[in-house]
Amino acid sequence: MPAPSKFAELRSVRSPLVRTSWFYHQTVSGPRRQIGRLSLGTYKFTRRAWSKTFSLLITGAFYSFGEKSVIQSPVRIVGEDLIAIGADVFIGAGSWLEVVDQPRTSEGPVLSIGDGTSIAGTCVLSAACSIRLGRRVLLARNVYIADHSHAFEDPRRAVLDQGITRKEAVEVCDGAWLGENVFVGPGVRIGVGSVVGANAVVLNDVPDHAVAVGVPARVVRVLPEHGAPV
């Protein structure tokens, strides 16, 4: 015996509310869903196309810029001629990359981002001495890394007018993962394959293959070592 058609099913339903809902989903919801999918697909395509085009246009401004790397706009960039970006790097929208207090005669990059690194967005990398991100590092949103501090010793002057102090190199090694809202201060080394939990304030080194959390960050676990990622 053949299955009843959808119209037959509709006729068997006496509730006007159910009939109205069925009619809406068949005649209105379907086209709206198609329009929605088409609109969202178009938006995603244009965003990807613009990000890739923008990245291609700005490559020559940097100390170096690797293949297949993408920087999403809007982005704030200062001192790009002293910033080296590896291959297949992703830098999400709203990020801020800057080199401060450096003469343009400096040899080599001051801020370096390794191959395959992914920066989710709205992150700040502020280098006055040296910041190095290794290969395949993962930064969640709102990560802030600085290799310097603001001077504030003079109470008669605004902090904004006192410049910067305590310039010490920062390194985030291969395969490390920094969670959302992490702050990394001057002189810190975060080891190979290490994990820093969300909202942590890292003021001291984190060993290789360790998990660190808290304010200030402390090591709570050491992971099995499998070597640095390639």
pLDDT given at position 48 = 87
- Rounded CA gap, 110 and 120, in Å? 21
Segments making up each domain of the chain, as ranges: 15-61, 62-222
The domain 62-222 belongs to what CATH superfamily? Hexapeptide repeat proteins (2.160.10.10)
Closest CA to 73 of 99, 101, 108, 47: 47
* pLDDT per residue as tens, the chain (230 positions): 555 555 455 455 555 665 566 666 666 666 777 888 888 888 888 888 988 898 999 999 999 999 999 999 999 999 999 999 999 999 999 999 999 976 655 678 999 999 999 999 999 999 999 999 999 999 999 999 999 999 999 999 999 999 889 999 999 999 999 999 999 999 999 999 999 999 999 999 999 999 999 999 999 999 886 554 44
What's the predicted TM-score (pTM) here? Answer: 0.81
CA 49 – CA 52 distance, rounded (Å): 5
Burial class (CB in 10 A: 0-12, 13-18, 19+), 170: buried
Question: So what's the pLDDT on residue 230?
Answer: 42
Q: What is the pLDDT of residue 84?
A: 97
**Spatial separation of the C-alpha atoms in residues 130 and 79, rounded to whole Å:** 13
